[in-house]
């Protein structure tokens, strides 16, 4: 938040807890952040079943806790009328079910680092955007390359997920925003839309979603 205020006028932030950070979820903090005009979203939040550990019972209990915290984030987002930044890994069915049953379409959001799972595409009509990052440029990214043309153009976003998921040919290095151009170039090739128009389209989409003028 301090960075948003002091450094660059175009830095905006979201507030949330990733699925593995659920212990630090603290509802008291929300007001402080969410009333700030540069806090444009609630998130990251969501479900991540990729690293579940322990017995089957442990895993079930972890899932239940993640779901509970995810639902709380959705309620907070609705209360403050801010879109959600949603993280979904190995949990598409549960995440979709929660987004629909919690009426998250009231605020919409972005499925960040979209996992290319086609069952999530229908969330487009519920106000959800699809965050596309460095994975699109990976040589083994067939699934995402194939699903990309099925996403409504008005719902495409480009993201870094820095410092992770650095695009080819910088894979393995620290990711940074300037590398987004590599994602945009790849998107332009796949969709056969010129690069400038991809830039315009995804920038406008982001402004619309996060209500940035």
Residues lying near Zn ion in the complex (CB under 5 A): 44, 87
Number of helical H runs and strand E runs in the chain: 7, 6
Least Cβ distance, residue 42 to Zn ion (angstroms): 14
Measure Cα distances from 95 to 19, 46, 98, 111, 131 in Å: 12, 7, 5, 10, 16
Least Cβ distance, residue 115 to Zn ion (angstroms): 10
The whole-angstrom separation of Cα 2 and Cα 13 is 10
Nearer to Zn ion, 87 or 155 (CB): 87
Least Cβ distance, residue 78 to Zn ion (angstroms): 21
In the bound state, the residue with its beta carbon closest to Zn ion is 87
For 118, the enclosing helix (H) or strand (E) is none
Least Cβ distance, residue 79 to Zn ion (angstroms): 23
What three-state secondary structure class fits 7?
coil
Would you give the end-to-end CA distance of the chain in angstroms?
19
Residue whose C-alpha is closest to residue 176's, from 160, 158, 157, 187: 160
Least Cβ distance, residue 156 to Zn ion (angstroms): 18
The conformation of residue 52, written as its DSSP 8-state character, comes to -
């Amino acid at each position: 938040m301090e960075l948003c205020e002091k450094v660059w006028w175009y830095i905006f932030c979201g507030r949330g807890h990733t699925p593995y950070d659920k212990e630090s979820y603290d509802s008291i903090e929300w007001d402080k952040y969410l009333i700030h005009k540069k806090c444009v979203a609630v998130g990251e939040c969501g479900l991540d079943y990729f690293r579940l550990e322990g017995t089957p019972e442990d895993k079930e209990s972890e899932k239940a806790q993640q779901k509970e915290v995810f639902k709380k984030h959705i309620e907070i987002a609705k209360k403050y009328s801010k879109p959600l930044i949603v993280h979904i890994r190995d949990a598409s069915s549960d995440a979709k079910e929660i987004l629909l049953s919690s009426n998250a379409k009231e605020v919409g959001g972005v499925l960040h680092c979209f996992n290319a799972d086609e069952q999530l595409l229908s969330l487009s009509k519920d106000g959800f955007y699809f965050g596309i990052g460095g994975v699109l440029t990976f040589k083994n990214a067939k699934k995402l390359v194939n699903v990309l043309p099925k996403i409504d153009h008005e719902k495409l976003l480009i993201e870094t997920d820095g410092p992770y998921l650095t695009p080819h040919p910088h894979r393995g290095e620290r990711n940074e925003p300037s590398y987004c151009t590599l994602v945009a170039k790849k998107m332009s090739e796949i969709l056969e839309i010129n690069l400038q128009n991809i830039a315009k389209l995804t920038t406008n989409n982001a402004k619309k979603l996060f209500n940035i003028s």
